[in-house]
Every structure is written in structure tokens, then in C-alpha cells.
Structure 1
């Protein structure tokens, strides 16, 4: 896949060197030749050639996110053992702190309006 771009850059480099070492050429002309005949068109072509790969990667990432969301949203089936234990949480405790008591959540503070 990269053989043609490498070959094109070789040709453009040779054109730029010929421009730089020519009796009528200049180094500025060589730089302009290298940029306008080589870097600019090649970057556009490589970007366009990479579009299908980027699109496939984006679709794969979206499919993985959808699968993960579906997995997290799926209800946990009860084993029917009747032990009364709750199913494990879908998300681990990342905070490293002790969980807050539920009674604290029930407290509501009232503000007095002056």
C-alpha cells in the first residue's frame, strides 16, 4: 500500500535536488517543488486512502460501545436460590471510600428565607 507513495516521494525528492543543483535553479525553488509536488498532494491522497480504515475503526468502536451499554443495561437474572442476597453491582467502587449511609441521603435541609 505504501510502495506508490514512497516511490512518488523519491521522484519528487530527485526533482527537488535537480532544481537545487541546477545552474538556473534555487534552493527556494527546490523547497517549493518538494512541498507542492510532493508533501501537499501526497498528504491529501493518503488521507483519502485512509478514510475506509478510519470509518471501519469508528464503526467497530461504536459497536463495542453499544455492546458494552447493552451488557450493562441487561437485567441480572435471579438464580432462584432464595438466599436473599442482592446481585453484585455492575460497576466497581472506584472511589476507595466507604459508601455513604442511606439515611444521610434522606436528610433534607431547609433554608429560612430572611
Structure 2
């Protein structure tokens, strides 16, 4: 793929040089020749041909993240099981619960 990109870039660069060196050519014409015949089509081609490798990289990253998550969950489960087996209180590693404050005052019937 990169050989095609390098070769076509060379061809369009030579087209742009010929445009600029021509007695009736301009630098602006050379710039647009290189941009529209070279850079734009090659950018599209590289993007389209690079799609499979991008998808493989995304799947590999997701698989690595899933494996790390699974390992973390297994370690947490093993730690909890070991703490429960030892009979230690508060084996879940959670802070002890406090009594909730009464946010609503009690309502009574007036005598």
C-alpha cells in the first residue's frame, strides 16, 4: 500500500513541477495540481485501505481491557473469599454503616 502512495506522490509532484516550470503555468496551478491529483486522493485511499488495521487495533485494545477487567474481578472475588474463609468481620471491605439521622420529625396527634 505504501509503495502505491509513494509512487503516486512522486508522479503528482513531478506534474506540479512541470506545471510550475511551464511558461504558461503558475505556482497556484502547481499547488492545486498536487493537492487535487495527489494529496486528496491519496488521503482517501490511505484512509480506506487502513480501515481493517484500525478495526484490528480497536478489537485488540477492547480484548486487553476486558482481560484486565476479568483479572481484576477474579482477584477481588478471591480476596473476598479468603476474607470470608478466615472469619474476618467486614470481609467485603466496605466501610461500616452508620445509623441514619432522622430527617423527618415524628408526627403525633395533638391532645
Give the 4+ runs in structure 1 shifted more than 4 A. Answer: 82-87, 107-113
Give 1:109 deviation, angstroms.
5.0
| Residues 6-38 of structure 1, C-alpha deviations (whole Å, 9 max, x = no match) | 111010000000001101111111000000000
Confirm or deny that 1:106 pairs with 2:98. Answer: yes
**What is the CA RMSD across the aligned residues, in angstroms?**
2.8
Q: How many residues are aligned here?
A: 98
TM-score normalised to the size of structure 2?
Answer: 0.71
Higher relative contact order (CA 8 A, sep 6+): 2
Structure 1 residue runs of 5 or longer lacking an equivalent are 90-101
Higher relative helix content: 2
Tell me the residue number matched to 2:31. 31
Tell me the residue number matched to 1:22. 22
